[in-house]
Amino acid sequence: MLRWVALLGFVSVLSAGSSAQADEGMWTFDNFPKAKLEKQHGWKVTDQWLQHVMRSAVRLAGCSASFVSPQGLVATNHHCVVSCLQQLSTKQRDLVAPGYYARTAADELRCPEQEATQLIDITDVTARIKTATKGLDGAKYQDARKAAQAAIEKECQTSDALRCDVVSLYHGGIYALYKYKRFQDVRLVFAPEKAIAFFGGDPDNFNFPRYDLDASFLRVYENGQPARTENHLKWSAKGARDGDLTFVVGNPGGTNRQLTVAELEYIRDVSLPDTLMSLAETRGLLTEFSRGSKERRRIAETSLFSVENGFKALRGRWQALRDPRVFAAKVAAEKALRARLAKNPARNKELGPAWDNIAKAQTRLRQIRKPYNFIERGLGFNSKLFGIARTLVRASAELPLANEKRLDELRDAALPVVKQRLFSAAPIYDELETLTLTASLTKMREELGADHPFVKQVLGKEAPEELAARLLKGTKLRDVATRKKLFEGGAAAIEAAAAGDTMLTLVRAIDGDARAIRKTWETEVDAVVKKNTELVAKARFEVEGTNQYPDATFTLRLSYGAVKGFEEAGQMVPPITTIGGIYERATGRDPYALPASWVEARTKLDPATPFNVSTTNDIIGGNSGSPLINKEGELVGIIFDGNIHSLGGDFFYDPALNRSISVESAAISEALSKIYGATRVLEELAR
């Protein structure tokens, strides 16, 4: 599943556009290769088409989506909505397994932590950022860049109904201000049963042929009313057919196609294997935890899905990166670029040292990654309540500061999301908190060592499970009103409450160490990489031209392609599955058990209805929920996955094998009509 999860130790950079093959590319809207598209697919896209599609797109947390009616109806994946379903569930009333359909407008349920944004404007701010950082290095470069960014964002974000992000594209080659309309009142309209949305479960994940109704509908509200969304996609009841030209508009989360070799080595040799081992162990913990009771299974379900999905996705990426041919190609490409640059001695003097500087920063990263990840980045304290405590403590220190002096995550531009999460009434489960906090404290002791001063300070004579239990027992932060009071009361309120709250006490005790290691990372790793990848980007633009697409950055992109199968073990896999096929694959046992509604409706359904479809569009995690669009601008499907070969897409695009997978709009219509009786939604889609 293509949900995007930010991973520790990852950095994104720019990507190979000049040598882009076939349907390769996650293009920005202001640099879309119209001529190339026409040459390859014989169709000419208009600016009007592009503008309409851009404004019809929606971004969710880690996912993509689109408007599909003028009343704020949003189509996305089930797996992009499942955390909302879980947050609205209780032991007595589960929404995940049975799904949910709001029969009336009044039944639409507000998601506690969902934000939806709509891109309305892009402005190039490269000059302003580069002027601010000119001639600076290290901490000074970092401070200047952040201050300029914060100022630009603050000027733009005139109200909480807007969201303004300065985005680094081509790894600092271009800085752009992305201005979004922000919706924080997002409600649940329809979600099918989990068993049909994720039919085949982990074994079928990233596989094709596939039979998943991974679709759901939300609605964005403004002032308590459905938002008016003029730009929206027309819903096609037909879906996509073999050979159709298809577009995907959405927010690919991150690719690493143009990292330097030193950065790729770090990912291949350090961050990916470390992350995979950690996910594998967590998977074991959650699997066995879930077996304990039905309720445990329910509360751990989305966590286990995230872990299994992440493990499979990252293992695929890792396999791709460890392919010696892939890596040799990366090494050769870097060598060639540097050789071409060297032909111009003056430019080479300015830009040439960038690669070695980045390599040195990777060496430093290897040295500090463990304390940085465990002490500052949450690997040592995997607990929602810890996160809340840290946000409160840091907000009390940061908010009195000038906007540009604050930690990134507490700048004005970020506050609406911070507050939405901090004041969310979503349940926090003690059993799960105990599991994750104990496991992360144990892992911190294991990785930093029992004799590390920080570990000794945190654990003292306590065992990890004992400390976890004491911390969770002695905090009052489960209560949303308490959080609000502390947030609003600032430093004085925190000071007064800290002695009586174990989590606040811990966070305050370690905050100095945590900030110190973060500062080291920012100054000695991040600033060096950012500064020098700007130079690499410059070199690339000069040598290879600007007809390139940037590496994915969880910002809006457009990719083009076609409905097409692929060859697997010598056999062609046809690009489209049908509803009839799922009844053959079903075994009656999870994850191949059909929900009762589907068993009952079998004879009513047209078995020939296209179900899932494979296309050549170049996408990656974060594109989940993206609309699959035809030339007419109609939504013909919703992206939810890639085939197993697409996982190497983090590093390169393989036109022969890389495929994105969507659920066909025709299957969604058929199910809404004949299984779910979701007349209200169908009528709205048909208007």
Find the shortest distance in angstroms from Cβ 592 to a copy of itself. Answer: 8
Q: Which of 22, 237, 276, 601 binds a copy of itself (CB under 8 A)?
A: 276
Q: Using CB under 8 A as the criterion, what x/- string covers residues 253-272 for binding a copy of itself?
A: ----------------x---
At residue 109, the 3 state secondary structure works out as strand
- Closest to 24 measured CA to CA, from 255, 208, 370: 255
Residue type, 632: E
Q: Are 50 and 558 contacting, i.e. CB atoms less than 8 angstroms apart?
A: yes
The verdict on 568 binding a copy of itself (CB under 8 A) reads no
Crossing angle (nearest 10°) for helices 138-156 and 126-133: 150
CB closer to a copy of itself out of 49 and 592? 592
Q: Are 472 and 389 contacting, i.e. CB atoms less than 8 angstroms apart?
A: no
CB closer to a copy of itself out of 238 and 322? 322
CB closer to a copy of itself out of 395 and 439? 439
The span from the CA of 626 to the CA of 635, in Å, is 10
Q: Tell me which residue has tokens 């979701």.
A: 678
Crossing angle (nearest 10°) for helices 430-448 and 272-291: 140
Q: Which stretch binds a copy of itself (CB under 8 A): 34-42, 516-524, 535-543, 586-594?
A: 586-594
Find the shortest distance in angstroms from Cβ 669 to a copy of itself. Answer: 28
Residues 203-222, interacting with a copy of itself (CB under 8 A): 203-204, 207
- Rg, C-alpha atoms of the chain: 25
CB closer to a copy of itself out of 248 and 286? 286
The span from the CA of 643 to the CA of 614, in Å, is 8
Residues 458-487, interacting with a copy of itself (CB under 8 A): 461-463, 466
Helix (H) or strand (E) holding 443: helix 430-448
Q: Is 346 exposed, middle or buried (0-12, 13-18, 19+ CB in 10 A)?
A: exposed
Q: Which stretch binds a copy of itself (CB under 8 A): 78-86, 173-181, 236-244, 442-450?
A: 442-450
CA 88 to chain centre: 22
Residues 162-191, interacting with a copy of itself (CB under 8 A): none
Q: Tell me which residue has tokens 């700007």.
A: 534
The span from the CA of 592 to the CA of 108, in Å, is 30
Residues 606-645, interacting with a copy of itself (CB under 8 A): none
CB closer to a copy of itself out of 402 and 450? 450
Q: Which stretch binds a copy of itself (CB under 8 A): 17-25, 95-103, 196-204, 539-547?
A: 196-204
Q: Which of 39, 93, 343, 589 binds a copy of itself (CB under 8 A)?
A: 589
Residues 277-296, interacting with a copy of itself (CB under 8 A): 277-278, 280-289, 292
Q: Using CB under 8 A as the criterion, what x/- string covers residues 68-87 for binding a copy of itself?
A: --------------------
Q: Which of 74, 188, 435, 576 binds a copy of itself (CB under 8 A)?
A: 435
Applying CB under 8 A, what is the total number of residues that bind a copy of itself? Answer: 38
The span from the CA of 202 to the CA of 498, in Å, is 43
User: CA separation (Å) from 606 to 574, 638, 667, 669?
Assistant: 19, 20, 9, 11
Q: Which stretch binds a copy of itself (CB under 8 A): 87-95, 110-118, 197-205, 621-629?
A: 197-205
CB closer to a copy of itself out of 171 and 445? 445
**Around 280, how many Cα atoms within 13 Å sit in the side-chain half-sphere?**
8
Q: Which stretch binds a copy of itself (CB under 8 A): 42-50, 167-175, 457-465, 606-614?
A: 457-465
Find the shortest distance in angstroms from Cβ 316 to a copy of itself. Answer: 13
Find the shortest distance in angstroms from Cβ 588 to a copy of itself. Answer: 6
CB closer to a copy of itself out of 97 and 493? 97
Crossing angle (nearest 10°) for helices 384-398 and 415-422: 140
Q: Using CB under 8 A as the criterion, what x/- string covers residues 293-332 for binding a copy of itself?
A: ----------------------x------x----------
Find the shortest distance in angstroms from Cβ 203 to a copy of itself. Answer: 4
At residue 246, the 3 state secondary structure works out as strand
CB closer to a copy of itself out of 269 and 544? 269
Find the shortest distance in angstroms from Cβ 568 to a copy of itself. Answer: 11
Helix (H) or strand (E) holding 567: strand 566-568
Find the shortest distance in angstroms from Cβ 312 to a copy of itself. Answer: 9
CB closer to a copy of itself out of 274 and 404? 274
Sequence-distant (≥ 6) Cβ neighbours of residue 491 within 8 angstroms: 396, 397, 400
CB closer to a copy of itself out of 459 and 620? 459
Give the 3-state DSSP-derived string for 293-329, with helices as H, strands as E and coil as C. CHHHHHHHHHHHHHHHHHHHHHHHHHHHHHCHHHHHH
Q: Which stretch binds a copy of itself (CB under 8 A): 9-17, 198-206, 384-392, 608-616?
A: 198-206
Find the shortest distance in angstroms from Cβ 271 to a copy of itself. Answer: 13
The span from the CA of 106 to the CA of 680, in Å, is 12
Find the shortest distance in angstroms from Cβ 660 to a copy of itself. Answer: 20
The span from the CA of 82 to the CA of 676, in Å, is 18
Find the shortest distance in angstroms from Cβ 280 to a copy of itself. Answer: 4
Torsions phi, psi for 234 (to 5 deg):
-75, 140
Find the shortest distance in angstroms from Cβ 10 to a copy of itself. Answer: 19
Q: Which residues pair with 562 in a beta bridge?
A: 245
The span from the CA of 247 to the CA of 630, in Å, is 6
- What does 158-188 look like in DSSP terms, one character per residue? -STTEEEEEEEEGGGTEEEEEEEEEE-EEEE
Q: Are 595 and 602 contacting, i.e. CB atoms less than 8 angstroms apart?
A: no
Question: Could you list the residues that contact a copy of itself (CB under 8 A)?
Answer: 200, 202-204, 207, 269, 273, 276-278, 280-289, 292, 315, 322, 435, 439, 445-446, 449-450, 461-463, 466, 587-590, 592
